Structure formats: C-alpha cells, structure tokens
Amino acid sequence: MTGTQFDLFRTSDDHEELRAAVRDLVENKVAPYAAEVDETASYPQAAHDALVASDFHAPHVPEEYDGVGADALATCIVIEEVARGCASSSLIPAVNKLGSLPLILGGSPELKQRYLPRLAAGEGFSYGLSERDAGSDTASMRTRAVRDGDHYVLNGQKSWITNAGVSEFYTVLAVTDPDAPRGKGISAFIVEKSDEGFTFGEKERKLGIKGSPTRELLLDDVRIPADRMIGEPGTGLPLALRTLDHTRVTIGAQAVGIAQGALDLAVGYVKERQQFGKRIADFQGIQFMLADMAMKLESARQMVYVAAAKSERDDPDLGFFGAAAKCLASDAAMDITVDAVQLLGGYGYTQDFPAERMMRDAKITQIYEGTNQVQRVVVARKLLG
C-alpha cells in the first residue's frame, strides 16, 4: 500500500490551513455575536462584514470572475467552521453558493461576467424555487414568465427564501411554457433586488436560524431583459435539481458544524461539572453518550467530505452521495444537539448556554433543500435504478 492511497482519506494541508483561518475569524468576529443575533432575530451584519473582508462569504466563485476559486470541499469547510460558531452566519456562504450555482452551471459567459464579480465583491445571491403550494413538488410551481419582445414579465411568488431582502440577486424559477409536459416548461432567471415590481413579504418567525431572514419573494409584473434567462427556455427545472445535488452537500457541512459546536460545548461542560464528588465526565454513562455523539459526528463529516469531492468532480453518483450526506449529517446534528442539551441538564435548557440554540438551529437542516424524507426517496431511487 502506498502513501498516496492513504492520502485519499486526508484533507490537504491547504484545507487545514483554511480551516484554521476560518476558525480564528469565527471565534473573534462571528461567535461573539451569535447569541444576540438569535435573541434579536437580526441579520448578522458583523459576521457578514468579516466574511466579505476575508473572502469567505462566497469562496466558490471562480478566480476568472474575481473570486478565490475554492473547491467544493474548501467551501464546505468554510460553511462548517462558520456554523460551529453561528448557524445563521453560515448561511451567508451557503446561500451565496446555492443562489449562484445555477448561473455557474448553466449561464452564458456574458451573464457570468455580469454577476459573479459582483458576488465576489460582496453582493449576495439567493435562490427562489419553492412556493406556497410547491415545496417538495417543485414541478407544480405557478410563477409565470411571459415573453414580451426583448423582455420577460414575471408574476407570482416564492416562499421560504433565505436571506431575502439582504441579497442583491435572486435566481428565480418560473413557468415559461404552461402547455409543456410536467416540469418541462420551467426556466431560470436572474432577478435583481432593484427591479420594479419585485418586493418581499414579512420576515418569517422561526424556531432557529433567526439571524438569517426568511421571506417571500413577490413578483408583480416584474419586467426583466430576456438575456437574464439562465440557459435555454425549458431547462430551468433540471438545472435547479442539478444545483441541489451539489448544494445539499453544503447543508451537510452546516449540520456537521452545528454538531461540532454542540459536542465541543458538551465536552467542556462535563469536564468542569462536579457531582457526587467528581467530574460528571468520569461517569461511564456520560462517557458513552459522548462516544456516541463523536462517532455520529465523524461518520457524518466523512460522508460530507466524500460527497464534496464528488461534487467537485461532478461524479455521476453525486445525486446519491449528496442526498445521503445531507440526510445523515442533519439527522446526526439533531441527535447530537439534543444530547448536548441533556448533558448540560437544566443549564442546557436555558439561553445562558448555546446548546438550546444549536438544537433549534439543527432542526432546519433536516427540512430545507429537500426534507430528509425526500432525501431517502432520492437515495432509494438511485439504489433501485
């Protein structure tokens, strides 16, 4: 066996240097504001500014468009490390990738040149796919885009849009051919925050990730140039689903980061907490809980990293691994954060410690970018051919 073969199971020195740099930034400029961001449900502007200044807000943007050109694993490491300190803030790099990836995968060189350098400079990019009555069933969307000369006119709404109102740009899916077979008449467009007729609903009141605004997109006769369509007419839904194959991996990374933060907190606490004359860390029952938490976490991390490598290569089995990584990691994060609350006892149930926030934040990772029930359907279909 050669050393090269074993290196397949190690992150590179560059990846670990990146991790150290992001962790230092998070500990100093992100984590200190996480509790306040959660309590006030306010956008993490300090984290945003720090991430932009360090080029961690959208590390996936290619160098040719003034980005840093981070690979898929590096992007996941950024998201993981930010989520370890503040899940709301981790949605800045995660959603910037989600919103812009359809453009990267399917846009013309001219369209990429128009928007990607602005994303690299700090202007955000969100993603508009779901609607009130079209969540998991994306093909039943009702938002329409009607051709009018050199323009399209968009009408409809999108629900559950992360960082809506903060981002400058939005990838919006709309029906351009209502007579086409199901899912075949949908196209993707870039809508700008300043477009006339484009507004936002009220902020959703949520269980977790309270610092990341979630709002509806409201499109009322929004007239945009036809060259803002991404790719060809009717290719929007396959592009959207291909995007999710890649970005589900980043949700897995977010879940891993939340879980790591919870495990770190729990380990630190049980080493300090005294009961019956000794540290509770010395009780075997506590040790078993910690061991189970650590094993779940490392299993999830390895699955996410493998999926990230497959995303970078655009492997044909990415659909399986992306769904599996997101599902496994988010389920693990939920288990680990619940156990962290348990290990902290009464303190875990209070806002004096971040365990309860981490538990609330972890829940959404089982829901967005496809519920874990949908992920299991995807995995099963891949198995069954």
- For the chain, domain boundaries: 3-120, 125-234, 238-384
Confidence (pLDDT) at 6? 46
Q: Any idea which fold 238-384 has?
A: Butyryl-CoA Dehydrogenase, subunit A; domain 3 (1.20.140)
Is residue 312 flagged as an active site residue?
Answer: no
What architecture is the 125-234 domain classified under in CATH?
Answer: Beta Barrel (2.40)
Burial (Cβ within 10 Å: 0-12, 13-18, ≥19) of residue 20? exposed
Tokens of residue 321, six digits: 């691994």
Give the bridge partners for 172, in sequence order.
128, 189
pLDDT at 8: 55
Predicted confidence at residue 7, as pLDDT, reads 54
Q: Which residues of the chain have pLDDT under 50?
A: 1-6
Residue type at 213? P
Q: By the 8 A CB rule, do 241 and 222 touch?
A: no
Q: Give the active site residue among 81, 131, 216, 369.
A: 369
The CATH T-level fold of domain 3-120 is Butyryl-Coa Dehydrogenase, subunit A; domain 1 (1.10.540)
Reference 303, options 330, 325, 320, 332; nearest CA is 325
Report pLDDT for 135: 85
How many CB atoms lie under 10 A from the CB of residue 150?
Answer: 8
pLDDT of residue 164: 98
Give Cα 239 to chain centroid, integer Å: 17
Of the chain, the end-to-end C-alpha distance in Å amounts to 34
Predicted TM-score of the model (pTM):
0.96
